[in-house]
Amino acid sequence: MKKKPVTGMKDVLPEEGVIRNYVTALAGETYSRYGFMSIETPCVEHIENLTSKQGGENEKLIFKILKRGGKLDLSEVKEEQDLVEEGLRYDLTLPLSRYYSNNAQNLPSPFKAFQMGSVFRAERPQKGRFRQFTQCDIDILGDPTYLAEVELITATTTLLGRLDFKGFKVRINDRRILSALAEYAGVSEEKRGLLFIILDKLDKIGPDALKEELLSSDFDASGVDKIMEIFGGGFLSDDPLHKLQDILKDHLAEGCIENLETIMKLVAQVKNADFEVVFDPVLVRGMGYYTGTIFEIEMPQFGSSVAGGGRYDEMIGRFTGTPTPAVGFSIGFERIITILLEEHFKVPEKGVSTAILLEKGLDGEKMAAAMKEAADLRAVGSRVLLVWANKNKKFQKEQLTKAGYDEFREYYREELKH
C-alpha cells in the first residue's frame, strides 16, 4: 500500500484547511454582494462536450473514464470512443454552458453564476499547479455589454483586496484586436492560433527572440516585419491602445477599442482595492472559446497569473443553437492559497477559541457540566474544543495554542481541585 497521494494531488492538512475554508466563505460572501448566485455542476461530463475543440490545450489533458459493465465490450473496441463516454471536467466554464443551456428557462436573465469545485488536468505538476485543484468562478450570462466585464473585474479584485493583496495588476486585451493584427499581417486562419501562442511569449523572450521564432515557424517575412514594426521597437510604449487603433483600423471590429477604454476607465473609477488596470496587447489566454475581452491578474508574489477570464459569446449557442453572450472570471484558488501559506496568513478570529481539557475518569455530573459549558459558548458563536487532558499538559497546551486556541478551561475528577 502507498501512503503518498497520487502525483499532482495532495492531502490538505488542518492549517491549510482553515485558510481554504476561510477563502471559500469569503468568496461566497463577497460575490453574493454583487448578485452572483451559487450553483453546482457534476465533475463528470460527456466526453463529446469535453472534446468539442473549445478547451484549447486542456483537451489534451482530460482524465477519461472507461465505460462500465455491459457497456464495455473489449472484443468490439476499434477506437477510443468505443472505450470512453465520459471524462472529468478540466474547468468550470464548459460545464456551466451545458448547465445554462439545460436550465435557462428557470434562471433569471442576465444570470450571474458563482461556482467552486474540483477540476482535473493530467499535466506536469509544479508550484501552484496540480492535477486536481479547486476553481473559483464567476460568470455573467446574457449581458453583451461592458457592464458584465466591469462587474466581474470589480468583484474579483474586491475579493483579493479583502484578502489583503495589494499592488497587483489587471491586464486586459481583446481577442478581436489579436485577430485584427493577424489579418493586418496576412496570417491565415489556420496559423493564427500559433501566432497568438508565440506573441504571448513576448514579455519573457523579448522582441529579437520573438522575430526569430516567428520566422522559424514559417510565417511570411513581410508579415513578420509588420508585426515587429508594432512590437519590436518600443512603438507601443506610449498610448498603445490608440496607436493600435490607428494601425489596425481597417481590420478592427467596430467599437472594440472604445469598449476596452470604457471598461478600463470604469474599473479604475470604482475600484476598492489597491491595483492597476493596464492594456496588454499580447495577452492571449489559452482557451479556444474566447471571443472578445480577455483579462488576467498578475501578482508580484507569484511568477504567473493568479486569475483570468474573458468573453465567450459562442459557447452556449453550440448547445442551444441560440447565441448567448457570456463572460467569466476565474481565480486560481490553489495559487492564492499557496501565496497565503507562504506569507503565513492568519485567519481573523471571531471571538475567543476555547479548549476544555477533561481529566479521564470524570463522573457524570462533571462531564455534563463541561459539555453544558461548551454548548453555552458555542451558542454565542465561540469555537470550543472538548478534549481529554494528556499527562504532559504543558506540551498539549502549546500544540493547541498553535492550532488557534487562546483560552483553556479544565475539569478534574471529583476528588481533585477544580
HSE-up (13 A, CA, CB side) for residue 239 = 5
What is the domain partition of the chain in residue ranges? 14-342, 353-411
Residue with cell 497521494: 5
CB atoms within 10 A of CB 90: 25
- Give the model's pLDDT for residue 416: 42
- H-helix or E-strand containing 136? strand 132-141
- Give the model's pLDDT for residue 415: 46
Report the distance separating Cα 386 and Cα 381, nearest Å. 15
Q: Kindly state the cell numbers that stand for 95.
A: 460545464
- Give the model's pLDDT for residue 294: 97
- Give the model's pLDDT for residue 381: 83
- Give the model's pLDDT for residue 70: 57
For residue 185, give every residue at least 6 positions away whose Cβ sits within 8 Å of its Cβ, in sequence order, or none: 195, 219, 220, 223, 224, 226, 227
418 residues of the chain, pLDDT tens digit each: 999 998 889 999 988 999 999 999 999 999 999 999 999 999 999 999 998 877 667 788 899 988 776 566 666 656 666 688 899 999 999 999 999 999 999 999 999 999 999 999 988 877 667 899 999 999 999 999 999 999 999 999 999 999 999 999 999 999 999 999 999 999 999 999 899 989 988 988 999 999 999 999 999 999 999 999 998 877 788 889 999 999 999 999 999 999 999 999 999 999 989 999 999 999 998 767 899 999 999 998 777 789 999 999 999 998 888 889 999 999 999 999 999 999 999 888 777 899 999 988 888 888 899 999 999 998 888 889 999 999 899 999 999 988 888 899 999 876 444 4
Report the distance separating Cα 37 and Cα 33, nearest Å. 10
Report the distance separating Cα 170 and Cα 268, nearest Å. 10
Q: Kindly state the cell numbers that stand for 360.
A: 479521564
Give 407's strand partners.
Answer: 354
HSE-up (13 A, CA, CB side) for residue 279 = 25
The DSSP line for 15-62 is HHHHHHHHHHHHHHHHHHHTT-EE----SEEEHHHHTSS-SGGGGGG-
Report the distance separating Cα 384 and Cα 371, nearest Å. 10
Rg (CA), the chain: 27
Q: Which of 289, 333, 308 is nearest to 153 (CA)?
A: 308
Report the distance separating Cα 178 and Cα 195, nearest Å. 9
* C-alpha dist (Å) from residue 252 to 54, 180, 191, 415, 418: 23, 5, 19, 87, 80
Longest dimension (CA), the chain: 95
Residue with cell 494601425: 247
Handedness of CA 288, 289, 295, 301 (dihedral sign): negative
Report the distance separating Cα 40 and Cα 103, nearest Å. 12
> With left for phi above 0 and alpha for psi between -120 and 50, is residue 142 left, alpha or beta?
left
- Can you state the angle between helices 240-248 and 175-184, rounded to 10 degrees? 50
* C-alpha dist (Å) from residue 102 to 48, 144, 317: 16, 20, 12
HSE-up (13 A, CA, CB side) for residue 276 = 9
Length, in residues, of the chain: 418
Do 123 and 8 contact (CB within 8 A), yes or no?
Answer: yes
Q: Which of 207, 206, 176 is nearest to 192 (CA)?
A: 176
**Within its chain, how far is the Cα of 296 from the centroid?**
10
Three-state DSSP class for residue 115: strand
Report the distance separating Cα 33 and Cα 349, nearest Å. 22
Report the distance separating Cα 12 and Cα 19, nearest Å. 11
- Can you state the angle between helices 175-184 and 189-199, rounded to 10 degrees? 110
- Give the model's pLDDT for residue 417: 44
Do 151 and 34 contact (CB within 8 A), yes or no?
Answer: yes
CATH level 3 topology of 14-342: BirA Bifunctional Protein; domain 2 (3.30.930)
